[in-house]
Chains A and B, each alone.
Chain A
Amino acid sequence: KQEVTQIPAALSVPEGENLVLNCSFTDSAIYNLQWFRQDPGKGLTSLLLIQSSQREQTSGRLNASLDKSSGRSTLYIAASQPGDSATYLCAVRRDFGNEKLTFGTGTRLTIIP
C-alpha cells in the first residue's frame, strides 16, 4: 500500500528566504506526482504536476523535483512571500489507468513578514 509522508508538519521562515518542502513515498512505481496548496477552509489549488519520466517542473518561483528511485520529491519556493503561507500537500498517482491519488498529510508553511 502506497504511503506518502511530508516532514516537517509545520515550518516557519522569514520573508525573502528560499525554502524546500519534502514529500516521500514508499512505492516508487508511480505515474505522476502533484503538488497543491490549501488555504484555511478552502479547496486545493494545483501548483505543479510532474510525470514519472521527468526530473523537475517549474512555475514561476516554484520548482518541483522528482527522484523516483529514492521515493522523494521536493518543492522549492524561491524568495518567499507572506502570501505563500498555506498548507502544501503532495499526491501520487500509482500507474496509468489507476486514477486514485494518495495524499500526504501536508506541511503548514508560515512566512514571517
Chain B
Amino acid sequence: DGGITQSPKYLFRKEGQNVTLSCEQNLNHDAMYWYRQDPGQGLRLIYYSQIVNDFQKGDIAEGYSVSREKKESFPLTVTSAQKNPTAFYLCASSRQNTEAFFGQGTRLTVV
C-alpha cells in the first residue's frame, strides 16, 4: 500500500534524552514535513525538506534536528534542548506544491 508510515505510535522520553521519530513514505514525493500539534493549537511546522540532502527550518525548529539522506525517509530527532517535547508529532509528504498527505502520528511523552 502507498502511504506514509510513522513509528513508533507512542514514545516515552526521559529528561535529558534524545529520541528519534521515524517517517517513511513510498509515494515518491519530493517534499516532506514535520509538524507538532498541541491541544488547542494548530499544527506548527518544525522542519521541511523539498529535496534530498536539503531541509529548512520551520517556525519552531529549536531543539529539533532532521536529516534527508534518502527521498523516502525524513527522521526527526527531539534533542534534550527541547524543553517541552510532550506533543503529537505528524509527518507529511507531497509532490511539489500539490496535495499533502499525512502519517498517523507519534505521541511523545516525557516521563
Interface residues of A (CB under 8 A from B): 4, 31-32, 34, 36, 41-46, 49, 89, 91, 93, 96-97, 99-106
Smallest Cβ distance from B95 to chain A, in angstroms?
A: 10
**Residues of the A chain whose Cβ atoms lie less than 8 Å from the Cβ of B103:** 43
Please determine whether B48 and A100 come into contact, CB atoms closer than 8 angstroms. yes
**Interface size counted on chain B using CB atoms at 8 A:** 29
Q: Taking chain A's interface residues, is the majority helix, strand, or loop, or is none over half, making it mixed?
A: strand
Given A45-B102, A46-B100, A91-B100, A99 and B94 touching (CB < 8 A)? Answer: yes
Q: Of A36, A96, A100, which is in contact with the most chain B CB atoms at under 10 Å from its CB? A: A100
Give Cα distance in the complex from A100 to B35, angstroms: 11
Give Cα distance in the complex from A104 to B43, angstroms: 8
Q: Taking chain B's interface residues, is the majority helix, strand, or loop, or is none over half, making it mixed?
A: strand
**Residues of the B chain whose Cβ atoms lie less than 8 Å from the Cβ of A31:** 97
Complex partner residue of A99 from B42, B96, B105, CB under 8 angstroms: B96
Complex partner residue of B105 from A42, A102, A105, CB under 8 angstroms: A42
Please determine whether A43 and B102 come into contact, CB atoms closer than 8 angstroms. yes
Smallest Cβ distance from A96 to chain B, in angstroms?
A: 5
